[in-house]
Amino acid sequence: MRNIKIVIEYDGTKYKGWQRLGDSDNTVQHKIETVLSKMAGENIEITASGRTDAGVHATNQVANFRIDAEMPTHKMRSYCYEYLPDDIVVKTVEEVDLNFHARYNAKVKKYVYNICNNKAHNVFNRKYEYHIPQPLNVEKMRKAAGYLIGEHDFQSFTTLKTKKKSTVRNIYTINIVNEDGNVEISIQGNGFMKNMVRLIVGTLVEVGLGERPADGINDILDKKERKYSGHIAPAKGLFLEEVNY
Amino acid sequence: MRNIKIVIEYDGTKYKGWQRLGDSDNTVQHKIETVLSKMAGENIEITASGRTDAGVHATNQVANFRIDAEMPTHKMRSYCYEYLPDDIVVKTVEEVDLNFHARYNAKVKKYVYNICNNKAHNVFNRKYEYHIPQPLNVEKMRKAAGYLIGEHDFQSFTTLKTKKKSTVRNIYTINIVNEDGNVEISIQGNGFMKNMVRLIVGTLVEVGLGERPADGINDILDKKERKYSGHIAPAKGLFLEEVNY
């Protein structure tokens, strides 16, 4: 029995997310498992660092799986490259210690969200960024983001319904860069709940548009109810960029 | 009668080029003319700096048209933005002197060609670059490109069949930059014939792969027959980036 770690890049545009509860085959996980199982001649199940929602992309999603076959890792990589659709690429394949677990061992995750803040959208990036034609006040957005840094109960920033699990997370950094109207928001933290990054972005955008005050963030956190945060920014602008172990 | 100059960005993926001889409506020119004619309530015909082939993109194609309507240019821009499909954007609209002609007055054109020279393609750029997994020797490509600079008869580098028109063109610069396997070839010249940029790129790629010598370019130029140059690089990697007047 071997434990294999893979790093995956995917364009989430046409998928129902990494994994879907239900019977859809149109998920990134299902595509990869089908190819790996055919390659191995055994049923392969993969575990990712976390799910990404429908339409969300990844430049470096991490996953692992157990396999009996003795195939060298570079052959696994080229097999995946040959048989996966062209919107999913397994970038690296590496044999790791048997106790490595892509989800449980993940320490820091980094997401990047792209906004096009020009009057007209860019035709080449239109599937990968959120177009906001009205001018954003990035300084105010940075100020608002400051209130989210650190350990907080992020219940107001998730659509997760469970009352059982902790909704406390730690956000380490939020960087917002504006280059000629290309606004990139990078968020690092120890974990993110369902729609958390997109709700943070949607709320920051409303601050940037002057629809809510930057110092209202504390109040949203205190309320611990999703209805107090902003809109859910579209999936297409979101990328899972890095998972650290 | 007014003369209007427009700058257009388009994703050529699903179009049969800027213009097609024949009866297809699926061209960039036809899409824009339809919207402008509806806007003006008169039949509008536009003239571009030149045609781009099926699948070729543009970041700054230039065109002009005559119009009687007294509509201000910023309203024309927003009308186009509202009614054009999302893979075509009219970026600027400007009233110009009546004798401005987008094709006849074009002095310098710049094309950019993108190559992904990594083992795996990039899933997000896959529709906008030529993937070549074997390592390219960029130094040799630069050396080969050097022989193309200046005024030459480029008959070997076009699929144009006419014997009547001159096939002499002047190429001012060819720059080749390689950043982590993202190879960008920029070509500036006074004019380009059918498939000329893609034949130049295809030939340079063959030099980069060691399939032909860098100093064989003079010989290809001398032969004045298309069959001596290389393959036609795929349309999807090519962008019309700038037209100077």
CA A18 to mean position of chain CA atoms = 10
pLDDT tens-place string over residues B225-238: 999 999 999 999 99
Nearest residue on chain A to B77, alpha-carbon basis: A120
The mean per-residue pLDDT over the stretch A231-245 comes to 98
- Residue B57 distance to chain A (closest CA, Å): 9
Subunit contact A123:B81, Cβ cutoff 8 A: no
Structure token pair of residue B21: 């001889």
Contacts of B82 in chain A (CB under 8 A): none
Subunit contact A91:B126, Cβ cutoff 8 A: no
> Does one domain contain both A147 and A86?
no
Q: What is the CATH number of the domain that holds B201?
A: 3.30.70.660
B144 lies in some domain: yes
> Does one domain contain both A130 and A172?
yes
In chain B, DSSP assigns E strands to 2-10, 46-48, 57-67, 88-96, 108-116, 130-131, 150-153, 168-179, 182-189, 238-244
| Residue A20 in contact with partner chain B when CB distance is under 8 A | no
A102 lies in some domain: no
pLDDT tens-place string over residues A59-77: 999 999 999 989 999 999 9
A103 lies in some domain: no
> Does one domain contain both B127 and B188?
yes
Q: What is the CATH number of the domain that holds A57?
A: 3.30.70.580
| Residue B57 in contact with partner chain A when CB distance is under 8 A | yes
- Residue A199 distance to chain B (closest CA, Å): 24
B206 φ, ψ to 5°? Answer: -65, -35
Strands A150-153 and A168-179: antiparallel
pLDDT tens-place string over residues B159-197: 988 778 899 999 999 999 999 999 999 999 999 999 999
The pLDDT score that the predictor gives to residue B199 is 98
Count contacts between A and B (CB, < 8 Å). Answer: 46
The pLDDT score that the predictor gives to residue A24 is 74
The pLDDT score that the predictor gives to residue B121 is 96
> Does one domain contain both B132 and B206?
yes
Nearest residue on chain A to B82, alpha-carbon basis: A120
> Does one domain contain both B231 and B128?
yes
> Does one domain contain both B89 and B120?
no
Amino acid at B126: R
B102 lies in some domain: no
Residue with tokens 């919107």: A87
Which of B149, B170, B136 shows the shortest CA–CA distance to B218? B149
> Does one domain contain both A134 and A214?
yes
Task: Give me the residues paired with residue B153 across strands.
Answer: B168
> Does one domain contain both A79 and A161?
no
Subunit contact A91:B123, Cβ cutoff 8 A: no
What's the total number of domains in chain A?
A: 2
Chosen for mutation from A121, A124, A134 (greatest number of chain B CBs closer than 10 Å) is A124
A169 lies in some domain: yes
CB interface of A with B, residues 83-122, below 8 Å: 86-89, 91, 119-122
The mean per-residue pLDDT over the stretch B93-117 comes to 97
> Does one domain contain both B34 and B137?
no
Assign A193 a pLDDT band (cuts: 50, 70, 90): very high
B128 is in an annotated binding site: no
Q: Is B53 a catalytic residue?
A: yes
The pLDDT score that the predictor gives to residue A161 is 83
Q: What is the mean pLDDT of chain A?
A: 96
Structure token pair of residue B203: 């030939």
- Residue B8 distance to chain A (closest CA, Å): 10
> Does one domain contain both A45 and A161?
no
The pLDDT score that the predictor gives to residue B39 is 96
Assign A20 a pLDDT band (cuts: 50, 70, 90): confident
CA B145 to mean position of chain CA atoms = 18
| Domain limit, last residue, from B56, B74, B96 | B96
B168 lies in some domain: yes
> Does one domain contain both B230 and B168?
yes
| Domain limit, last residue, from B74, B96, B118 | B96
B41 lies in some domain: yes
B67 lies in some domain: yes
The pLDDT score that the predictor gives to residue B163 is 75
Which of A162, A165, A241, A230 shows the shortest CA–CA distance to A196? A230
- Residue B107 distance to chain A (closest CA, Å): 26
| Domain limit, last residue, from B49, B76, B96 | B96
Contacts of A86 in chain B (CB under 8 A): 121, 123, 126
Q: The complex's ipTM?
A: 0.89
The pLDDT score that the predictor gives to residue A163 is 75
Structure token pair of residue A144: 């608002």
Q: Tell me if A186 sits within 8 A of A110, measured CB to CB.
A: yes
Cα–Cα distance measured from residue A125 to residue A108, given in angstroms and rounded to the nearest whole number: 27
Q: Is the pLDDT of residue A21 over 80?
A: no
Q: Is the dihedral of CA B83, B88, B94, B95 positive or negative?
A: negative
The mean per-residue pLDDT over the stretch A175-181 comes to 97
Nearest residue on chain B to A13, alpha-carbon basis: B124
Assign A165 a pLDDT band (cuts: 50, 70, 90): confident
pLDDT tens-place string over residues A79-136: 999 999 999 999 999 999 999 999 999 999 999 999 999 999 999 999 999 999 999 9
Assign A23 a pLDDT band (cuts: 50, 70, 90): low
> Does one domain contain both B10 and B56?
yes
Cα–Cα distance measured from residue A151 to residue A162, given in angstroms and rounded to the nearest whole number: 19
Cα–Cα distance measured from residue A137 to residue A205, given in angstroms and rounded to the nearest whole number: 9
Residue range of the domain that includes A12: 2-96
Which of A105, A104, A95 shows the shortest CA–CA distance to A2? A95
CA B2 to mean position of chain CA atoms = 27
How large a percentage of chain B has pLDDT more than 70? Answer: 99
If DSSP codes are grouped into helix, strand and coil, which group holds residue B218? helix
